[in-house]
A and B are shown apart, each in its own frame.
Chain A
Amino acid sequence: MTDKNWPLYEVFIRAKSGLSHRHAGSVHAADDEMALNHARDVYTRRNEGVSIWVVKSSEIIASDPAESAALFEPAKDKIYRHPTFYEIPEGVENL
């Protein structure tokens, strides 16, 4: 097996217009065009999509789950950002 390893692409599919693209899985392909074709064949055999994005997995910058406590901690103590933080007196409506 002397095959060169084709790069890995992550596949994102928009199920229908109005929805955002969502991660579906990954494919290997020699180039971008082939990645789109493979993504279509593998992930949309039953009309699951109206649009496909593919991006080389190596191009994705991801946060580290081990650091997630520190990363998201600043949002934790700002409960005043949620409407439920505020007490509205009885009788006040449309607020």
Chain B
Amino acid sequence: MYTQGLDQQGKEPQGLQPRESAERLTAFQARIDAEEKIEAKDWMPEAYRRTLVRQISQHAHSEIIGMQPEGNWLTRAPTLRRKCILLAKVQDEAGHGLYLYSAAETLGTSRDQMVADLLSGKAKYSSIFNYPTLTWADIGTIGWLVDGAAIMNQIPLCRCSYGPYARAMVRICKEESFHQRQGFDIMLALSRGSAAQKAMAQDALNRWWWPSIMMFGPSDKDSKHSAQSMAWKIKRFSNDELRQKFIDVTVPQADFLGLKVPDDELEFDQETAHYRFGEIDWQEFYDVLAGNGPCNRERMQVRRNAHQGGAWVREAAQAYAEKHAAQAA
């Protein structure tokens, strides 16, 4: 599954409700500070609820849309083994989307509402899926980098203060490791292959590196919702901290593959024991988020077509269920 700074998007929570007395809010924060989990029927501030619905549903949408770039290669995987693996991975993404919709529904928003918000374009999904998968190496790179970045983001979410979200994330994280490894395995095979295969791997890394590190969301200083999400323990680490961690673990993996990270300013700083890296083009990030990435329109169109195309199946299943219920009565 894939978050990026998903808590970054959308509108600021509205003003507090009058029933949210100072005592209630203080008591709620005390529970959070004591590392108690909040469960579905517990009292919670409306802004906490809204933040979670937005974040979890956007996270779910990302899983669902995220099936498209990889699904693009299902029929063209180079071997039957690779095809089986990719099929299992794409199926996992659907599963992750469903775990997350299930968690979000506990907050009182129906799944139909969330799906409608995705289809109407009201809800966002991770911008990374608006990039095309041009070659087989892109499938390797997505597993290795995109799922790798997602793991960095998701492991702390397993300790999120909202119980149903945290439990969904535990399940997702268990499955995610397979996704990253199968991606690295593809990259390993390509980087040990012919010159053309190695060039293909390098080309994919060149295109995916920057969008991948953008997945952590805007820099802390520009991050609107971070402080509140941290106070509520929805978020445990800042965007910049997670991005740095990702870069620190990923660059040596690229070195192992004999591939060059496309950043001329990338340099290991002995003193801090971290990699220094070049300026991120945030304009590109905001452009893609605003709907102007290479594949935004296609992704939405495919999703809408799939939903409309499946309508008769849902209707038939409903009619069948009603008929059998009537016969049993």
Contact = CB atoms under 8 A, between A and B. Distances in A.
B102 A66 contact: no
Contact of A45 (B95, B112, B325): B95
B112 A1 contact: yes
B185 interface: no
Contact of B99 (A1, A42, A62): A42
Contacts of A8: 105, 111
B139 interface: no
Interface stretch (B249-257, B273-281, B312-320): B312-320
Interface bracket on B: 20 to 34
Contacts of B315: 3
Interface of A: 1-6, 8, 25-28, 30-31, 34, 41-42, 45-46, 62, 64-66
A36 B32 CA distance: 36
9 contacts: A8-B105, A26-B102, A27-B98, A28-B111, A30-B314, A42-B95, A46-B175, A65-B41, A65-B43
Is chain A's binding surface mostly helix, strand, loop or mixed?
loop
Interface of B: 39, 41-43, 88, 91-92, 95, 98-99, 102-103, 105, 110-112, 116, 119, 168, 175, 307, 311, 314-315, 317-318, 320-321, 324-325
Contact of A26 (B88, B95, B105): B105
Contacts of A64: 41
Nearest to A25: B102
A79 B273 CA distance: 54
A46 to B, nearest CB: 7
A41 B325 CA distance: 24
Given A25-B99, A42-B98, A65-B39, A31 B321 contact: yes
Given A5-B110, A31-B325, 19 more contacts: A1-B116, A1-B119, A2-B311, A4-B318, A6-B318, A8-B105, A25-B103, A25-B168, A28-B111, A30-B317, A30-B320, A31-B320, A31-B321, A31-B324, A42-B99, A45-B95, A45-B175, A46-B175, A65-B41
